Structure formats: C-alpha cells, structure tokens
Structure 1
Amino acid sequence: MYAFVDTVNSGIVGTNLPTEAMSYNGVYLENEIDGYRTLSVTGRELMESEVTDQEIDGMDGSYYRYKTTPARTITVKYQLRARGSGEYREAYNKMNKLLSCEQVKVIFNDESDKYFIGTKTSNTQVDGGSNNVIGEIEIYCSDPRKYSTTEKEFTATDGVLNILNEGTVPVSIDYDVQTMSETGYIGLVSEEGIMQYGKIEELDGETYQRSEVLATIDDFINCKDDTSGTDVMHPQYGANGTCATYNWFNKKFIGFGTVGTKKGRANGGLRTLEIPADSNAVKGAKNFYSYFHLMFWAGMMGQTGEMCINFLTADNKLICGCSWYKTDAIGNTGHYEIWANGKMLRQWGYTTSHLRTQNPWYWDWGHCDILKEGANIRFFYWGGYHNYYIPETENMECTKIQIAFKQWGDRGGSKLMSRMGFDVINFTKNNVSKWKDIPNRYPSGTKITIDGKSSHVYVNGMARPEDEVLGTKYFKAPVGTSEIKVACSEWTKSQPIVKAKIREAWL
C-alpha cells in the first residue's frame, strides 16, 4: 500500500481563473495583476526526441545508440487590459517582479497536480499606444519533465516494497530505514540493480567480534549529581551544582539545573557515569563509539552558557571530549571545541540561532559522535569528519563519562541559554581493533536515509559514504509496478521498518 504526501504549495486558486492560468513560483498572475488573463498555452504537449546513431560502412541504415529529450519551452499567450497608462505600467512592473525568480515551480490550472521547473526567459514586444494588449511569455524548462505535486510513499510488507510508478519516465527513489534491532547490513534488491550498505556478516560470526552498548541517556538521567567531583575538561570551574531533566519538543533532555558554589567564571552541575562491564565481565573500552544528540540554542541575543561531554580513564585522564560554549553577552556567536589527551585540538565558531544553515546543534539535526580506534580518534562537525592520530591515547581505556552544564557568572534566568542539553547519549564498546570488522554497526533505533537523486546515504543524519558497498547501483523506479526486496544480517532479531518515496514524472 502507499500513501500520498503533499509536499508542494500550488498557490491560491482564484474563483474565476482561465483553464490554462499559470502559477509561477506559487502565485497565479490573474490573482495579482488586475486586467491580466491567460489566453492560451503551448509547449506542454508531446516532446520530440533526439536520436544518436552511428553509420557503419557496408551496413544499411545506421546503428541506433540512444535517444534524448531536449529542453522544453512553454509559451503563455496573455491579454492585459488597463484603465489608464499608470495602471498599465504598474501591471507590467508587477509582472516583471513576479516572473524574476529562476528555476521555480510552474503549474497550470488545468493540471494543478503537476508542475514544471522553469525560468522566464523572453517575451514578445506588445503594440504601443494601447492599454489593451496581447503578448507572449516564454518559460524555459531545462528539465523537460513535469512532476507530481505530491509524493507517493510505500511501506515494506514482509520485507518487500511494491512500487507503483504511474508516470511516463523512471524516477529516483528515496528511502527511510528504521532499525528495530541491531544489524550490520542493509540491502535493497530489484531487477534494476542492488544497493548495499554496511557489511554482510563474516562466516565465523563469533560474538567477540560484536560491539556492545554499555550506556544510554537513561543511565545519565538516573545517575546522581557528582557534587564532589571535578569537570576534568574544565577543572577551573565549579561543578557542585545540579543537573535537571526537561521535556523539549516531546523529548526528554538532561541539562542545567542549579549553579552550586561558585568557583571561577562558570558554575553548574556535573554527572559522572561509571561505565559497566561488558558481557565478559571486562571493564574499560580501548576502542569505542559514542553517538549523542543535543541542543545548544540561544533564543535571545546575548544569552550565555557552557556544556561538555568527557570520556575518561579510571584515573580521571581525559581521553577525548567535546565542549559547547557561548560567552557572547551581546550577539549570537557560540563555539564548539574538540579535545583529546587533555588538550583542545580545534575550535569552530557558529551562530546559535534556530536556523539549520547557521546552527548544527538545534532540534532534529543536532547530531554528533566520537569514534576511538586505538590511537585514532574521529570527531564529527557539521557534515564532516575530522581524524587525529594521537599515540598517547592508544592504550587509554574509557571507564567513565562526564557531562556538565554551566552558567557563566551571574547570567542565569533569561540570560542563560534557552536550550542546552542531551536527549541521546549512546556508548558502544568495540571489541576489535578495526571498526570495519564490526558487523552490527547499526544499533536498534538507527535511522538510515538514502537520497536516490544525489546517491548519498546518511546514518542518523550524518553522511556515511564509507558504508556503501562497492558495486551499489542507485536504480530508479521504472514505469509500472516493480518489487524491491529488503535484506539485512541473518542474526538480526527484528526486521527494519523500510519506507520509500517517489515523485512521479511525465514527458
């Protein structure tokens, strides 16, 4: 079964629009320009094809290679009536403004469920000396196809996606995969090709080659405040206040509670979690992976605050960690730091607003992670990975994790960051020296997103091109009905929830 998902705003349809009225960038010109009316439209019909062939000596005719469809030009014939020269000029001023945008959705009233992507390129010169004229507008569509204003969504049943493409051309497919239990491999197989991610499990399948999740956000929420401890990353600050839990965007976060006794310029709460032993009763993780989701957002200019996460040895040495802070008491500039072996490696500045283009640590997209493999430590920042080789950390074993949230000076209340906290912290111990050899790289709850048009794969919102198996082909949904089978590791306990979306297209 599939459902329709409305994703395009086709503009407000007037009550007396011509059959072929054009909506350009979401606006019907008749609704905005007094006296404007569409008379006819051409260029939306059958498209010619350009055939590429090759002549061969001694052979009749030619050898057919392929055909292509050229760009499309749509011509809109219109009439403009104005009561006076002033209204006439104002009408054309409006028309120029409305048609100035490039590569926009173009919809026609007699086919309001489909759109072209076009740019206004030229127009005819209308007769002078009259306020009642007929002219033509040309819309250039470098992509000759028209697309459905809605997307079709399909959900796999018993591991099979049945895709119905009622357009006239093959179209790309987007996928959302939600794991319901840990797995090391996701495969999508059809007659058009195969897409594979992760690693098909090794033949021996020994349990020591698998990773184990030893801590989650619930462990930090249930952990007591470490009022006698020290924030190892920032020992010069006070940390005997408290942490607190909040419900933001229907998710439970842990964040700042109270200041506590003041020491230095930043003070607040600290929690130190002792990581439990693995299934072999062994404490400490030399190789580990931690994924965390957070918010660090200033709802007002000039708000300040600080938070960090520290990965420590048994004797409280800082293996690695991340810090977010804002000391800008006037503007909206925050900073993100990455640390290893007790030292800061790098710092970035960014804007702590609610905009995704400015702030990587807000709401649904606040992803971050750290991977340690011996002396190699990998950090994530805003769509990219940063790798460091630090020999001193090779044999360091993580036994504790600290999180801390602090207020700068006396800047509490409305002067404190509107949102700073974690709603996900997962710590996974890896029992092998190389991450690639771990079959269960996708824990339960992992979200894998595949963008069919760009041929990119994302894991929990982060680009993961290295997960793509060599030979993967990003196939399209052919016209008609097609079947895609979903595969995963043999030892996977529960099958993932897989959804696919297509936007049908026509020539």
Structure 2
Amino acid sequence: TNIKRDIGSGWNNNTQAKKEGVDVITSSRGPRNISFDYLIKGTFFSEINANKQKLASYINSEDTLGLVFEDEPNKVWYALPDGEQSFSTENKSGTLTFIVPEGHAYSTYTNVLNSDNSGGINGSITPNDDGSVDITINNQGTLPTWIDLKLTNNHDNGYFAVIGLKGALELGNREEVDGVTIQHSDVLYDSKTDPKFSKFVSAAGQPHPEWTGAGTNGTIGYQEYNYKSSNGQQKTMKGVKLIDPGSQTGFRGG
C-alpha cells in the first residue's frame, strides 16, 4: 500500500554563474526513489518472523530487481533496495525503499509495426518506385528507445542499407549478390513440353544484338520434312531451322 512514485526522477545540473543567470555545463538525470508500505501476515511470532525472513530473501540482491506494480502492469522498474527497511512489531507493518539507478521504468511489452498495421498509431511503411522503403515509427514512450528491425527480401539480393536521422548502416555489396562469381547454365526453352516450338514469337526485322551488319529479317521456325537416307530408307527430319533467309545478303538469320 501507499506506493510512492514521484513525477519523473531528479535532475543534476552543473552550472556556472554569469552576469545574468547561469550557464548549464552539464545536465543529467538522477536516480529515482520508490517506496511502499507492507503488512506481514501471521498470528504467532514464529510465523511472522518466518515471513520477515522470506521477504528479506526476496530483496537481498546485488543486482537490480524488477518491480511491477498492480496499477501499472506494463511497466517494470529495475531497482535496488536502499537504506534501512523499516518494520514495526506492534502493527506488523513497515516500509520498503528502493533506488532506481536509471531513473525510469521500462515497458514490459513491445509494439510491432508491419505491413498489416501500417498507417496506424505505430507508424507507417511506404514502398517507393525505386525499390526503397520509407518507415516512420511512432515511439509512444517518454524516452528514446531501441528498435528491432527485421528485413526480408522479396527476391535475391545481397545488399541492405538502413538510413536513419542520425546515421546509416550498409550490409552487403551493392554490385553483386553474394560476392562470388559462378558459372552456370540456364534453361531458356524446354522442347519436351512444346516439341513444335509453338511458343516462339517472331522477331523479324529487329537488329542483331551484337552486330548491326547481320540481317535478321528471315524466318526461323519448326519444320518437318521427309528425306531418304544413303541406304534408301525413308526418314523424317524434325526441328527448328532457317525457313526463309530473308532479303539480306551475306550473313543472314531470323
């Protein structure tokens, strides 16, 4: 009962006098004190004494303890016991006093900003045409805080750049996916699923990609024709060939 948490924590200001007022050399947040009254349950002395020892064991720590109060369940104060911890035998009650070295509480939960809640109270995520993404985060606390940024690529990419108001972080190589050059083959067309190459689209009249002197106004297509082999057997040739060489002289293609 009777939880005492003042507004904010104390401030330590180092000042230097001047003709009018002072110059503030440094200003820092001081610790914060929290105290509350407690009541030990029990009828007999042995029972009360055992509960006193149990309470002492809870706060007997050289490391900060997490204090969470019922009226502020989403805050935790990392504190140390401070000074004498009072107890009155007459009414079986006393006061516990703690010091919060950092002077402030921490939130016990995190807010998540993603594409599902973008544009709400937590902030916004806006993709741009150049592939970058603008992220605005609304910190609903009273102090600056860290963020846990999780990035997921939608395609093969070996580079990340995170640019904030006070700096930038780059990961990877802008020019190459993983920094390793490998040789590999790509399947451009599979005739097993389209043996007559019906999915081919004519590119007649378009310039040769490597040499402007080559004519590509001919026609390449699928063709079947019968012929006799050297032993007189009738055979059928199937495949893609230059059906019409076009009007170009010299190098010709389709």
> Aligning the two structures, in what range does the TM-score lie when normalised by the shorter sequence?
0.5 to 0.7
Whole-Å Cα distance in 1 between the matches of residues 7 and 84 of structure 2?
20
Deviation at 1:93, TM superposition (A): 1.7
Which has the greater radius of gyration? 2
The answer to whether the aligner puts 1:114 opposite 2:70 as a matched pair is: no
In structure 1, the partner of 2:5 is: 43
In structure 1, the partner of 2:153 is: 179
Percent identity of the aligned residues? 15
In structure 1, the partner of 2:47 is: 87
Q: Which amino acid aligns with 1:120?
A: P
Partner-residue secondary structure (3-state), 2:150: strand
Whole-Å Cα distance in 2 between the matches of residues 112 and 209 of structure 1?
46
Deviation at 1:174, TM superposition (A): 2.0
The answer to whether the aligner puts 1:154 opposite 2:113 as a matched pair is: yes
Contact (CA 8 Å) 1:123, 1:135: kept in 2 or not?
Answer: no
Q: Which amino acid aligns with 1:42?
A: K
Partner-residue secondary structure (3-state), 1:177: coil
Contact (CA 8 Å) 1:185, 1:196: kept in 2 or not?
Answer: no
Whole-Å Cα distance in 2 between the matches of residues 105 and 209 of structure 1?
44
Of 140, 160, 166, the residue aligned with 1:166 is 140
Whole-Å Cα distance in 1 between the matches of residues 5 and 84 of structure 2?
15
Partner-residue secondary structure (3-state), 2:160: strand
Deviation at 1:40, TM superposition (A): 0.7
In structure 2, the partner of 1:53 is: 15
Distance 1:209 1:153, change over 3 A: closer
Deviation at 1:107, TM superposition (A): 0.6
Distance 1:54 1:189, change over 3 A: farther
Q: Which amino acid aligns with 1:196?
A: L
Distance 1:171 1:65, change over 3 A: farther
- How many residues of Structure 1 are paired with residues of Structure 2 in the alignment? 170
Contact (CA 8 Å) 1:154, 1:162: kept in 2 or not?
Answer: no
Of 72, 78, 91, the residue aligned with 2:38 is 78
RMSD (CA atoms): 2.9
Cα-to-partner distance string for 1:68-97 (whole Å, 9 max, x where unaligned) = 111112111122242110111111121122
Whole-Å Cα distance in 2 between the matches of residues 65 and 170 of structure 1?
22
In structure 2, the partner of 1:368 is: none
Deviation at 1:66, TM superposition (A): 4.2
Whole-Å Cα distance in 1 between the matches of residues 105 and 163 of structure 2?
28
Distance 1:60 1:84, change over 3 A: same
Contact (CA 8 Å) 2:59, 2:65: kept in 1 or not?
Answer: no
Distance 1:154 1:140, change over 3 A: same
Displaced runs of 4 or more, over 6 A: none
Whole-Å Cα distance in 1 between the matches of residues 185 and 22 of structure 2?
71
Whole-Å Cα distance in 2 between the matches of residues 43 and 51 of structure 1?
22
The answer to whether the aligner puts 1:193 opposite 2:163 as a matched pair is: no
Whole-Å Cα distance in 1 between the matches of residues 26 and 185 of structure 2?
61
Q: Which amino acid aligns with 2:96?
A: I
Cα-to-partner distance string for 1:23-49 (whole Å, 9 max, x where unaligned) = xxxxxxxxxxxxxxxx21113433232
Whole-Å Cα distance in 1 between the matches of residues 178 and 30 of structure 2?
54
Deviation at 1:177, TM superposition (A): 1.9
Of 187, 191, 211, the residue aligned with 2:180 is 211
Cα-to-partner distance string for 1:138-194 (whole Å, 9 max, x where unaligned) = 11211111122111111244112221111111112222222333334322223x312
| Unaligned 5+ runs, structure 1 | 1-38, 215-277, 282-507
Normalised by the length of structure 2, the TM-score is 0.57
Partner-residue secondary structure (3-state), 2:99: strand
The answer to whether the aligner puts 1:137 opposite 2:96 as a matched pair is: yes
Q: Which has the higher strand share?
A: 1
Whole-Å Cα distance in 2 between the matches of residues 179 and 124 of structure 1?
55
Distance 1:208 1:48, change over 3 A: closer
Normalised by the length of structure 1, the TM-score is 0.30
Whole-Å Cα distance in 2 between the matches of residues 104 and 125 of structure 1?
19
The within-5 A match list for 1:250-399 is 278-279=183-184
Q: Which amino acid aligns with 1:46?
A: G
Whole-Å Cα distance in 1 between the matches of residues 146 and 26 of structure 2?
20
Contact (CA 8 Å) 1:123, 1:136: kept in 2 or not?
Answer: no
Partner-residue secondary structure (3-state), 2:39: strand
